[in-house]
Structure 1
């Protein structure tokens, strides 16, 4: 049996530079792994692929875990199956890449469980065919994403910062947010370039404070309560707060986990869903179960 931690992501910066011929948008983004993670277990099975889900509600249609498993089988010609359990901790339709993280963990774990020996580059290419955030979730850490967000360059890592996630009780559809974005003119902004510049200089505080998400105005126009929430997070002492992906989750960065934890009750009392976590230096972590113990396998 294998156990995998599938970590969520936030977008420190997100630029939208127009629509591509393939229907996707050309973006430049700085992606960051965080410790909030779904937990998946994998065991060999005869007769196909089986998935059991607990925790956060997940739509059964078009589930990325089963899609990733089936794509890996087809790409390699493997005929065996697997029983997969998913403990869903990352909220759905939240801008945190939870489904992509689960798919990435599935590719890594089944590659190991089925002894396929596929290289990382192969898994990244296969993942990009399933979802644009999957290559980053496979790689993890801090990275610059271009194209659809799947053309990656690893960046210098951030230190372990406290992350306060605050989310309303509704979700947002990625496609709907981008469609709304296309209806309006937007002044050019280049926060991803600034964040990247300062990370290479070793100035992580300046890097983080240079962040920005061009989709915020679209989301805030429809949901002004999120604009007010961002302002309140900054007043609470965060040195950066912003929308992750297409939202609706906002993240606030603090110098430590303890400081983020200290602020969480204020927002929970207002009726928001909150999580406290930290930045992470990798996306997927894999363990092997042996005699009820978990052994890290790389």
Structure 2
């Protein structure tokens, strides 16, 4: 086996709560994440020497600063792997969008290297390696739906919800996760999610209650800095969808009652916003 190609799914946050801040600056969170059908394609190919990374987009670092390259370097160092690597990222997930595109790419590289070199590492080991790369990488190894705690590395898988369709709207610019967290004063957050109620609704397969309980405390920061995010959220709500910003933004998703309603709402959004995508949970 000389080449592996994997899908790297995006994620949305069904909730995001910040409950503390550590001395090292990292925040303690409680959030529920869900994989969706929007995905990048990641192809990893062995070569004799060196590292090359290519992509269909130009607005990501195509060098050692890319988290996908860092994933390869970590695996090569940990397991004394020889030779080089070629990574190609066919991006469909918007960049710096709150959808874990970079983390999902890194997770795909970890899984691809595991296959290419026949390391036979279980997902738990790959997730542990992923923690050193970024808070969402461990989650992206498994995907699905999970409660994430700590700085995002303590994961509790949750029962799969019935498939739901949604519209994702991105205003066409990226947002720095680090800057949003730095601007947040978690002690002044006005409205926290009821995470326990949300988890119970997920266990019952009750999407209506899940949608009613969706809260992201980072919205207060991002909407103030980027009013377009608030405008998108209102537009999706006005279209009859349950809307929430994902991660630190700026992407906002709206959950529809049916696939047809998602497609209809998506068409309404296309005239005003740069990137409008229809997806479903996976």
- Fold conserved between structures, TM > 0.5: yes
Match of 1:14 in 2: 16
TM-score (norm 1): 0.89
Matched residue SS, 2:54: strand
Aligned residue pairs, count = 279
Match of 2:251 in 1: 249
Shifted more, 224-233 versus 8-17: the winner is 224-233
**CA shift for structure 1 position 55:** 3.2
Match of 1:64 in 2: 67
Contact 1:48 1:80 in 2 (8 A): yes
Match of 1:217 in 2: 220
Match for residue 112 of structure 2 among 109, 114, 121? 109
Shifted more, 4-13 versus 37-46: the winner is 37-46
Match of 1:233 in 2: 236
Match of 1:45 in 2: 47
Contact 1:254 1:260 in 2 (8 A): yes
Contact 2:162 2:205 in 1 (8 A): no
Match of 2:169 in 1: 166
Match of 2:93 in 1: 90
**CA distance in 1 between partners of 2:39 and 2:177 (Å):** 21
Q: Deviations over 1:205-261 (max 9, x none)?
A: 2122211100111111222232232122112021x1000000000001113333211
Match of 1:283 in 2: none
Match for residue 270 of structure 1 among 269, 272, 278? 272
TM-score (norm 2): 0.94
Match of 1:141 in 2: 144
CA RMSD, 1 decimal = 1.6
Match for residue 26 of structure 1 among 10, 24, 28? 28
Is there any run of 5+ residues in structure 2 with no aligned partner, and where? Answer: none
Matched residue SS, 2:56: strand
**CA shift for structure 1 position 138:** 0.6
Q: Indicate yes or no: 2:193 matched with 1:190.
A: yes
Matched residue SS, 1:156: coil
Q: Looking at both structures, which has the greater relative contact order when contacts are Cα pairs under 8 Å and sequence separation is at least 6?
A: 1
